[in-house]
A and B are shown apart, each in its own frame.
Chain A
Amino acid sequence: MRLTYVFQRVVLLLAIMWMAASINFVLPRLATGRDPIRERILSESARGGGATNIGMTEMVAEYRKQFGLDEPLPKQYVTYLWNTLRFDLGKSLSNYPKPVMRLISEALPWTLGIVTASTLISFTLGTILGALIAWPRAPRILQYTVPFLLTLSAVPFYILGLILIYFFAFQLKWFPIGGGYPIGTIPAFTLAFFGKLVYHALLPSLSMILASTGGWALGMRGMMVTIQGEDYMNYAEAKGLPDRRIFFGYAIRNALLPQTTGLALSLGHIVAGAGLVEVVFGYPGIGSLLGESITRFDYTTIYGIVFFLIVSLGLVLFILDMLYPLIDPRISYE
Chain B
Amino acid sequence: MTAAASQSAGQAATLRVRNLRVDYFTDAGRLRACDDVSFELGPGQRLGLVGESGSGKSTIALALMQMIRPPGKVGGQVFVENDELTAMNDAEIRSARMRLIGMVPQAAMSALNPVIRVRAQIADVLQVHEPSLTSAQVRARIAEVLEAVELRPEVANLYPHELSGGMKQRICIAIAVALRPKVIIADEPTSALDVVVQRQVMDTIGRLQREMNIAVILIGHDMGLMAQFVDHLAVMYAGKLVEIGPTRELFARPTHPYTHMLISSLPTLGQKGVFRGIPGITPSLLALPSGCYFRTRCPHAMPVCTERAPETTSHGSDHASACHLADVEGGLAGRIAIEAGSATVRAGGFE
Query: Which residues of A are interface residues toward B (Cβ below 8 A)?
Result: 136, 230-232, 234-242, 245, 249-250, 253-254, 257, 327-330
| Interface residue ranges of B159-214 to A (CB < 8 Å) | 159, 161, 172, 175
Given A238-B98, A239-B98, A239-B125: A231 and B175 interface contact (C-beta under 8 Å): no
What would 15 more interface pairs be, CB under 8 Å, given A241-B124, A329-B161? A136-B69, A234-B111, A236-B113, A238-B105, A239-B98, A239-B175, A240-B95, A240-B97, A240-B98, A240-B99, A245-B128, A249-B124, A250-B113, A329-B115, A330-B161
With a cutoff of 8 Å between Cβ atoms, the chain B residues found around residue A238 in the complex are 65, 67, 97-98, 103, 105
Q: Dominant SS at the A interface?
A: helix
Task: Let me know if B97 and A242 touch, CB within 8 A.
Answer: no
Task: Let me know if B99 and A231 touch, CB within 8 A.
Answer: no
| Interface residue ranges of B111-136 to A (CB < 8 Å) | 111-117, 124-125, 128-129
With a cutoff of 8 Å between Cβ atoms, the chain B residues found around residue A241 in the complex are 94, 124-125, 128
Q: Counting CB contacts under 8 A, is B96 at the interface?
A: yes
When chains A and B are docked, how far (Å) is the Cα of A73 from the Cα of B110?
59
Query: Which residues of B are interface residues toward A (Cβ below 8 A)?
Result: 65, 67, 69, 93-99, 103, 105-107, 109-117, 124-125, 128-129, 159, 161, 172, 175
Task: Let me know if B107 and A254 touch, CB within 8 A.
Answer: no
Task: Let me know if A232 and B103 touch, CB within 8 A.
Answer: no
Q: How far is the CB of B197 from chain A (nearest CB, A)?
A: 19
Q: How far is the CB of A221 from chain B (nearest CB, A)?
A: 18
Task: Let me know if A235 and B111 touch, CB within 8 A.
Answer: yes
Given A242-B128, A330-B161: A237 and B115 interface contact (C-beta under 8 Å): no
Task: Let me know if A330 and B115 touch, CB within 8 A.
Answer: yes
Task: Let me know if B112 and A239 touch, CB within 8 A.
Answer: no
Q: How far is the CB of B185 from chain A (nearest CB, A)?
A: 9
Task: Let me know if B113 and A240 touch, CB within 8 A.
Answer: no
Partner of A240, one of B69, B105, B125: B125
Given A240-B128, A330-B159: A234 and B115 interface contact (C-beta under 8 Å): no
When chains A and B are docked, how far (Å) is the Cα of A246 from the Cα of B98?
15
Given A239-B98, A240-B97, A249-B124: A231 and B114 interface contact (C-beta under 8 Å): no
Task: Let me know if B105 and A235 touch, CB within 8 A.
Answer: yes
With a cutoff of 8 Å between Cβ atoms, the chain A residues found around residue B112 in the complex are 232, 235
With a cutoff of 8 Å between Cβ atoms, the chain A residues found around residue B67 in the complex are 234, 237-238
Task: Let me know if B105 and A231 touch, CB within 8 A.
Answer: yes
Closest to B102 in A: A238
Task: Let me know if B115 and A328 touch, CB within 8 A.
Answer: yes
Closest to B159 in A: A329
Task: Let me know if A330 and B107 touch, CB within 8 A.
Answer: no
Closest to B107 in A: A231
Task: Let me know if B124 and A231 touch, CB within 8 A.
Answer: no
Task: Let me know if A232 and B159 touch, CB within 8 A.
Answer: no
Partner of B105, one of A136, A234, A242: A234
When chains A and B are docked, how far (Å) is the Cα of A23 from the Cα of B36?
74
When chains A and B are docked, how far (Å) is the Cα of A329 from the Cα of B116?
8
Closest to A329 in B: B159
A-B contact pairs, 5 of them (CB 8 A): A238-B65, A238-B105, A240-B129, A328-B115, A329-B115
Partner of B97, one of A230, A239, A245: A239
Q: How far is the CB of B40 from chain A (nearest CB, A)?
A: 22
Closest to A230 in B: B110
Q: Which of B99, B106, B111, B172 has the most CB of A within 10 A?
A: B111
When chains A and B are docked, how far (Å) is the Cα of A250 from the Cα of B125?
13
Partner of B115, one of A236, A239, A242, A254: A254
When chains A and B are docked, how far (Å) is the Cα of A240 from the Cα of B178?
13
Task: Let me know if B129 and A232 touch, CB within 8 A.
Answer: no
When chains A and B are docked, how far (Å) is the Cα of A210 from the Cα of B99?
47
With a cutoff of 8 Å between Cβ atoms, the chain B residues found around residue A253 in the complex are 113, 115-116
Q: How far is the CB of B219 from chain A (nearest CB, A)?
A: 14
Q: How far is the CB of A240 from chain B (nearest CB, A)?
A: 3
With a cutoff of 8 Å between Cβ atoms, the chain A residues found around residue B69 in the complex are 136
Q: How far is the CB of A171 from chain B (nearest CB, A)?
A: 47
Q: Which of B94, B99, B105, B115 has the most CB of A within 10 A?
A: B115
Closest to B94 in A: A240
